[in-house]
Structure 1
Amino acid sequence: MIRVGVIMGGVSSEYEVSLNTGREMLKALDPAKYIGIPVPITSREELLAGVNGLDFALLALHGTYGEDGTVQGTLETLGIPYSGSGVLSSSLCMDKALAKTVIRSQNIPTPDWLCWEHISEYDPEAVQRLGYPVMVKPNSGGSSIGMTKVNHPQELRGAVEKAFAADRSVLIERYTAGQEITCSILGGEMLPVIGIQSLGSDWFDYTAKYEQGGAEEQIIRLPAGVEEQVRAAALACYRALKCTVYARVDMLLADGIPYVLEVNTLPGMTATSLLPQSAGAAGLSFSRLLDEIISRSLQERGGIAAESEPEPEYAGQGGGRS
C-alpha cells in the first residue's frame, strides 16, 4: 500500500478551492492501493511535518506556494515524489506574462498584453494603445480572483489596484471575444475538448466557475481543421513550458483561431472540475484518473509503484461525446 499524502490548503487566495480539491481527491483514492492521508498546510513548517513518512505527495494546491514550484522544490529536497509538473514548469506557468512570452516565441497565438510590476508603472496610454476592452488580472493568480473586465478607461485604475491587492504584478490583456475552450492533457495526449459558456456574465469569472448554474460546460466536437489547430497549440504549449504528467490549456476560439490564455499545471481536481470531466468523456473515472496521475508521476520521479495493471486505453479528442 502506498502512503499518499494529499497536500491541500496553502497560503494563497485559493485556499478554500484547494481544500475542496483535496477532500474530493481523498474520497476518490482507491483504498485497495493507497492509504490516503490529508495534509492541510498553511506554512512551510506544516508541510515539513505533514510529509514525514509519506511515499507520495498528491498536490491539491492552487496559487502561490503550491503551484509556483515552491512546494515542488521542497519535496524534491526531501526526496518525496509528487504529482504533476516539476519546479521549472510550475514556476513558468504560474507567471502568466512569462508563459505568454514563451507561448508567443513558439508562434502560438495569444492575446496581446502588458505586465506591470508596480503601481508606479501605471500607464493608461499604453492600455489605450492595446485597445479596450481589456482583462486586468493578477499575473500569478487563479480562479479569476482579483480579475476584472475593463470596458472604459475610467474603470482601469480601480481594476489595476484590485489586481495589485492580490498579487505583486498585474497582467493587462486585450479582451478576445469568442468560444472559451479548455484542453486537458494527460501523459502528453490530449483528452476531449470542453466548451465553456458563462451564463451570468460575458466571461468565465469566479461565480461562473464555482457557483451552481454559473456556467455550461460540455464536451464539444470541433471542425476537423480547427480541432487540429487546437490540438497542435495545446501540445506545443505543454512541451514548450516543460509540463509533465498532466496540465490544462485554456483558450479562446475567435474566427477559427485558437488563442491560448494560460496553462495550468495544477488545475481544479474535484470530480466535477474540467479536467476530470474531460477524462470521464475519454472513459476514465475520477478514481482511475488519480491512479494515472500517481503512476505517471512515480515513473517521472521514481518511487514506490502500485501493483501494475494493464495500461488503460482511453480515447483522445476523437473519443469524446459529440
Structure 2
Amino acid sequence: MKVAVIMGGISSEREVSLNSGNEVFNGLDRNKYDVVKIIIDKTEDIFTKLTNDIDFAFIALHGKFGEDGCIQSILHAKGIPYSGCGPLSSGMCMDKNITKKILKNSNIPTAKWFVTNSCENIDYDKIESFKYPVFIKPNSGGSSVATFCVRSKEEVKPAIEKVLEVDEYAIIEEYISGGEYTSFVLNNEVYPTISIKANSEFFDYTAKYNDNGALEEVVYLEENLQNKINEISQICWDIFYCKAYVRIDMIIHDGVPYVLELNTLPGLTKASLIPKSAAAKGLGFSDLLDKIIEYSLTPSKVASLNY
C-alpha cells in the first residue's frame, strides 16, 4: 500500500502540522507501507503533488484546509481513501459555534457562548452576564492561536480585533474553572483519560508545544466521574459522525465534564496527547498509526444516534 503523508498547509498551525507529519512519516511501518511525503504550501498543491498511484492519504494537516472538511472533500472526489473523519464531521467540529449548538441540543454540558464578526455593537451586557474572565478566540481555529483570557471590558475590543485578523468570526465564551482533561476515542472505544496541567494561565500555544509547557499524564479518575467522561465521549463520537479517531477536550468543574471542543485531526507526534493515551493501553505509536489506517478504511463504528 502506498501511503502519502500530507503535511504543512496554509493555516497558522503549519509548523505543528510539519511536526506531526514527520513523526507519522517516520512512524509508519516500512514492512507494510510504501510511504511518501506531500508538503502543502498552497491549496493547489493537493492537485499537483498527489499522484494517481496513492492508495491512502494520511492527513497530518491542522487548521484551515486540513480539519475543516476541504481536503477531505477533494480526496473523496478523487477516490483516495484518507485518515480520520469525513467532510461533514470535520466541518462541524472545526466550527466551535456549530459544535456547541449540537452539544447543547444533545444535553452535553458546554460553556455559554456567542459569536461575532464585528467590533461594532459588542454585546457587553451578554459578556458581563458570563462574568469576567471570558475567553475570546477564533471560532474556527486551533492550537490556541489568537486565544485570549479577557478580564475586563477594556480588553474585549482589542481581543476581538486580534481574533478577526485570523478568522471570520470570534467566539466569546464563558470561563469554566476546573481541571483540563482530554479523552481519546479510537473506533468508538474510549482510551485512558489524559490530565493537562499548564505551567501558564491556560493551555495556550506555548504550553502545548514548548518543552515543559504543561504536565500531561494519564489519570484514572473516580469511577463515577470516569464513567461520565466515557459516556460523553461516546455520545460525541456518535452525534458528530466521527470515524477512526477523535480527541475530545473537556474542563471538569464540580464533578461535571464540560466539553470544550472536538479535534478530528489531533497532534500526532510521539509527545502528543493521543499517543500517550494509546501507550497507556499498550498500543505503541507505529501500531496506533496502523489502527488509524485500518479504521479509516472500514465503516465507522457507532452505538446509537437516539440522543
In structure 1, the partner of 2:171 is: 171
Instruction: Verify the 8 A CA contact 2:247 2:264 in the aligned structure 1.
Output: yes
Helix, strand or coil: the match of 1:135? strand
Identity percentage over the alignment?
44
**What is the identity, as a one-letter code, of the residue corresponding to 1:96?**
K
Deviations, residues 53-110 of structure 1 (Å, cap 9, x unaligned): 2100000000011110000000000000000000100000000010010011110100
In structure 2, the partner of 1:39 is: 38
Paired with 1:110 and 1:247, the residues of 2 have a C-alpha distance of 18
Instruction: Verify the 8 A CA contact 1:246 1:265 in the aligned structure 2.
Output: yes
Paired with 2:181 and 2:25, the residues of 1 have a C-alpha distance of 28
Paired with 1:131 and 1:237, the residues of 2 have a C-alpha distance of 28
Paired with 1:128 and 1:247, the residues of 2 have a C-alpha distance of 33
In structure 2, the partner of 1:116 is: 116
Instruction: Verify the 8 A CA contact 1:182 1:250 in the aligned structure 2.
Output: yes
Paired with 1:16 and 1:98, the residues of 2 have a C-alpha distance of 27
Instruction: Verify the 8 A CA contact 1:195 1:218 in the aligned structure 2.
Output: yes
Helix, strand or coil: the match of 2:75? helix
TM-superposed deviation, 1:44: 2.9
TM-superposed deviation, 1:287: 0.4
Paired with 2:287 and 2:227, the residues of 1 have a C-alpha distance of 27
Whether 1:267 aligns to 2:270 is no
Whether 1:221 aligns to 2:215 is no
Paired with 2:110 and 2:70, the residues of 1 have a C-alpha distance of 27
TM-superposed deviation, 1:122: 2.4
Matches within 5 A, 1:146-295: 146-199=146-199, 201-295=200-294
Deviations, residues 290-310 of structure 1 (Å, cap 9, x unaligned): 000011111239xxxxxxxxx
**What is the identity, as a one-letter code, of the residue corresponding to 1:142?**
G
Instruction: Verify the 8 A CA contact 1:51 1:57 in the aligned structure 2.
Output: no
Matches within 5 A, 1:58-97: 58-97=58-97
TM-superposed deviation, 1:202: 2.4
Paired with 1:253 and 1:272, the residues of 2 have a C-alpha distance of 23
In structure 2, the partner of 1:309 is: none
> Size of the alignment, in residue pairs?
299
Deviations, residues 266-311 of structure 1 (Å, cap 9, x unaligned): 000111100111001111111000000011111239xxxxxxxxxx
In structure 2, the partner of 1:131 is: 131
State the Cα RMSD in Å.
Answer: 1.1
TM-superposed deviation, 1:209: 0.3
**What is the identity, as a one-letter code, of the residue corresponding to 2:55?**
D
Instruction: Verify the 8 A CA contact 1:184 1:247 in the aligned structure 2.
Output: yes
Name the TM-score, length of structure 1 as normaliser.
0.91
TM-superposed deviation, 1:157: 1.1
TM-superposed deviation, 1:49: 1.8
In structure 2, the partner of 1:100 is: 100
Paired with 2:286 and 2:49, the residues of 1 have a C-alpha distance of 23
TM-superposed deviation, 1:121: 5.0
Paired with 2:122 and 2:283, the residues of 1 have a C-alpha distance of 47
In structure 1, the partner of 2:303 is: none
Paired with 2:54 and 2:87, the residues of 1 have a C-alpha distance of 20
Compared with structure 1, are the counterparts of its residues 271 and 121 closer, same or farther at alpha carbon in structure 2 (3 Å cutoff)? farther
TM-superposed deviation, 1:117: 2.7
Helix, strand or coil: the match of 2:107? coil
Instruction: Verify the 8 A CA contact 1:185 1:248 in the aligned structure 2.
Output: yes
Paired with 2:266 and 2:121, the residues of 1 have a C-alpha distance of 31
**What is the identity, as a one-letter code, of the residue corresponding to 2:115?**
C
Helix, strand or coil: the match of 1:259? strand
Paired with 2:119 and 2:24, the residues of 1 have a C-alpha distance of 39
In structure 2, the partner of 1:316 is: none
**What is the identity, as a one-letter code, of the residue corresponding to 1:195?**
S
Instruction: Verify the 8 A CA contact 1:198 1:216 in the aligned structure 2.
Output: yes
Paired with 2:266 and 2:118, the residues of 1 have a C-alpha distance of 28
Instruction: Verify the 8 A CA contact 1:118 1:168 in the aligned structure 2.
Output: no
Paired with 1:278 and 1:271, the residues of 2 have a C-alpha distance of 11
Deviations, residues 227-262 of structure 1 (Å, cap 9, x unaligned): 111111111111111111100000001110000000
In structure 2, the partner of 1:11 is: 10
Paired with 2:206 and 2:194, the residues of 1 have a C-alpha distance of 18
Paired with 2:117 and 2:164, the residues of 1 have a C-alpha distance of 9
Instruction: Verify the 8 A CA contact 1:111 1:174 in the aligned structure 2.
Output: yes
Deviations, residues 139-169 of structure 1 (Å, cap 9, x unaligned): 0000000000011111111111111111100
Paired with 2:161 and 2:113, the residues of 1 have a C-alpha distance of 17
**What is the identity, as a one-letter code, of the residue corresponding to 1:94?**
M
Q: Gapped runs of 5+ residues in structure 1?
A: 302-322
Instruction: Verify the 8 A CA contact 1:68 1:94 in the aligned structure 2.
Output: yes
